Chains A and B, each alone.
Chain A
Amino acid sequence: DSGVTQTPKHLITATGQRVTLRCSPRSGDLSVYWYQQSLDQGLQFLIQYYNGEERAKGNILERFSAQQFPDLHSELNLSSLELGDSALYFCASSQTVNTEAFFGQGTRLTVV
């Protein structure tokens, strides 16, 4: 158990809908990352937060947004969902911007 908690574990929703994925980082970790992993694809970086502030942004679609709250948990919002958004979404956290990151078990999103 990495200490990073993601909910829900599985999510099935229809095209056009909006969903929210939640991440609780390890105790004491200030940085949170979101990654997308499609079938047989590598980890695609979406966005990173550090202590509530956006630190880096990858190829995150405009339909997607995220935030990190004062208690350091983070949420990833995905809207106007398309079939191609079906993937595993991982959250990771690290203590600082230079230390190792620990991953949650992911949320498997299926858009039908």
Chain B
Amino acid sequence: EDQVTQSPEALRLQEGESSSLNCSYTVSGLRGLFWYRQDPGKGPEFLFTLYSAGEEKEKERLKATLTKKESFLHITAPKPEDSATYLCAVRAPGGSQGNLIFGKGTKLSVKP
């Protein structure tokens, strides 16, 4: 069964303390991996799309990378405003989960 697992479930960082979030997937026929940011009570906000192993995308303090089995979201020198839940999703041929399958997310807290 197609599956997406994110770790850790929660991460507490001090402002400026860089770290990485992990998204591992088992999908037959990956058709893209997506990162989103979700603030409480809000809709997920699209961050990045990755299609091929070795691909990297950057936006401000965030950098996403992709291998054949996992993706990392690296956060460099985070600020309190980076606090949010980060979601990973993969596209696969449609099934009971649809073709956009989400992980449960990593809740990031950045303390000043």
Contacts of B44 in A (CB 8 A): 43, 90, 92, 103
A102: chain B residues within 8 A (beta carbon): 46
On whether the beta carbons of B46 and A58 are closer than 8 Å, the reply is: no
Are the C-beta atoms of A56 and B99 separated by less than 8 Å? yes
**A42 interface contact, C-beta 8 A:** yes
Could you tell me the distance in whole angstroms from the C-beta of A50 to the nearest C-beta in chain B?
Answer: 9
Does A97 sit within 8 A of B, measured CB to CB?
Answer: yes
B42:A43 contact, CB within 8 angstroms: no
Which listed residue, B42, B94, B104, B105, touches A106 by the CB 8 Å rule? B42
Given the contacts A100-B49, A105-B43, A106-B43, A45 and B100 also touching, CB distance less than 8 Å: yes
Residues in chain A near residue B36, CB distance under 8 A? 103
Could you tell me the distance between the alpha carbons of A33 and B100 in the complex, rounded to whole angstroms?
A: 9
**Interface mask (A86-100 → B, CB under 8 Å = 1, otherwise 0):** 001010101001111
Q: Is A101 in the interface zone, CB < 8 Å from B?
A: yes
Which A residues are CB-close (under 8 A) to B98?
Answer: 33, 45, 47-48, 55-58
What is the total number of residues of chain A having a CB less than 8 Å from a CB of chain B?
28
Chain A 27-65: CB-based contact to B (< 8 A → 1; otherwise 0): 000000100000000110101100000011111000000
Task: Answer whether residue B45 sits at the interface, using C-beta atoms and an 8 A cutoff.
Answer: yes
Q: Does B97 contact A (CB under 8 A)?
A: yes
Q: Which residues of A contact B23 (CB under 8 A)?
A: none
Query: CA of A94 to CA of B99 in the docked complex: distance in angstroms?
Result: 12
B34 at the interface (CB under 8 A from A): yes
Which of A42, A55, A103, A104 is close to B104, meaning CB atoms less than 8 Å apart?
Answer: A42
- Bound form: Cα–Cα A43–B45 in Å: 13
Chain B residues near A88 (CB-CB < 8 A): 41
Name the interface residues of A3-17: CB closer than 8 Å to any CB of B: 4
Q: Residues on A close to B: CB < 8 A? A: 2, 4, 33, 42-43, 45, 47-48, 55-59, 88, 90, 92, 94, 97-106, 108
